Amino acid sequence: MSDLAIFPLTDEHKMLRDAARDFAQNEIVPVAADFDESGEFPHATIKKMGGMGFMGIEVPEAYGGAGMDSLAYVLALEEICKADAAHGVIMSVNNSLYCHGILKFGTEEQKKKFIEPIASGKAIGAYSLTEPMSGSDAGTMKSRATRDGDFYILNGRKSWVTSGPVADYLVVFMMTDPEKKQKGVSAFLLETKDLAGFIRGKKEPKLGIRASATSELIFDNCRVPASSLLGKEGEGFKIAMTVLDAGRIGIASQALGIAEAAYEAARSYATQREAFGQPIGAFQGTGFKLADMKTRIEATRLLIYNAALAKERSKTTGERYSQEAAMAKLFASETAMFVTHQAVQIHGGMGYSKELPVERYFRDAKITEIYEGTSEIQRLVISRAELGFK
């Protein structure tokens, strides 16, 4: 793949991308299938990724990060996800959902305590918004945080928490004023070690990204200091949506990495597998599939890079980049599903076998249309922006 002329990469960008590619191909590819089969969390490789700066790419060096920009982040994440989407989503959550929100809304004390261990790879962070009966509509969440002097008492059940079974630190959202619905949501920063009243619930058996641990989190009269509040009371929904803008760019990059891996596998197979005396890629039925796959992948890349640059501009202008992020995530996730489906089809029976990774790419792709805002929610964000609705 050649660099896109309208998005010129600096030498630093290229060095990071190449380092991520080398690490992913040499360290992750050989173990990805085994971790997918076992469902175990890849502690060793995640720790190595932290040592290379991948777990806090946009975090300033003062807080243990690499101090690079948004484009650097998507370049590195794309390469990790091309090797294994499960490793990639762990990286994405640490960077986008966890560190980004604390950098933007946290106090200096919170940044020092809650970011450095995550950005350096010494610990794992998680973001907890969804509940069993509250997904896209955060205003209906049942979890409660009640003020008690210099403390808050947290009660509730969270679901589908990526890295929940292993997280050392959490950004968790609770309702502090139910009558205000979305405007009554607040965000809290928690350290899970020895936290009384905090229980890790059942680990979810998933279709894909199986090495990425996902679970419920239960809070039973969990008492935390008032200093745990991220931002102000009632700012939780704003924080959550701001963070999700960044997270959607991460998931778009994940989808791109999956699609690229599936495409390259299909292209290679189409030149090697023969039928009726010629490579199957010579047949228009296969060649046209590959043409559509490649075109969608490159269009996806443009949308992601555009969103990453919009995010970078927002650091100085303060402007939201919700629409750019939503368009990138929507198109990337649906491209991942399209490309992996076609890759399985091109491989025929072998595409359905676990002997090759294309069936894993197919399983991993589906979640990108669901988490951090379903495709339906992305279309809602885009259409409302275009129509001027709130």
Active site residues: 372
Distance in angstroms (rounded) separating the CA atoms of residues 298 and 289: 15
Amino acid sitting at position 261: A
Q: Per-residue DSSP letters for 251-302?
A: HHHHHHHHHHHHHHHHHHHHHH-EETTEEGGGSHHHHHHHHHHHHHHHHHHH
> Distance between CA atoms of 157 and 214, rounded to whole angstroms?
14
Handedness of CA 374, 377, 379, 385 (dihedral sign): negative
Q: Measure Cα distances from 81 to 21, 159, 376 in Å.
A: 10, 24, 24
* 3-state SS class at 162: strand
Q: Work out the widest C-alpha separation in the chain, in whole angstroms.
A: 80
Q: Which helix (H) or strand (E) holds 337?
A: helix 322-347
Other Cβ atoms within 10 Å of 162 Cβ, number: 29
Instruction: Please tell me the distance from the alpha carbon of residue 142 to that of residue 82, in angstroms, as a whole number.
Output: 37
Please report where in the chains the tokens 């491989």 appear, as a residue: 347
Q: Are 234 and 186 in contact (CB under 8 A)?
A: yes
8 A C-beta contact, residue 360 and residue 283: no
What are the backbone dihedrals phi and psi of residue 367, each rounded to the nearest 5 degrees, phi first? -65, -25
| Rounded Cα gap, residues 106 and 346, in angstroms | 49
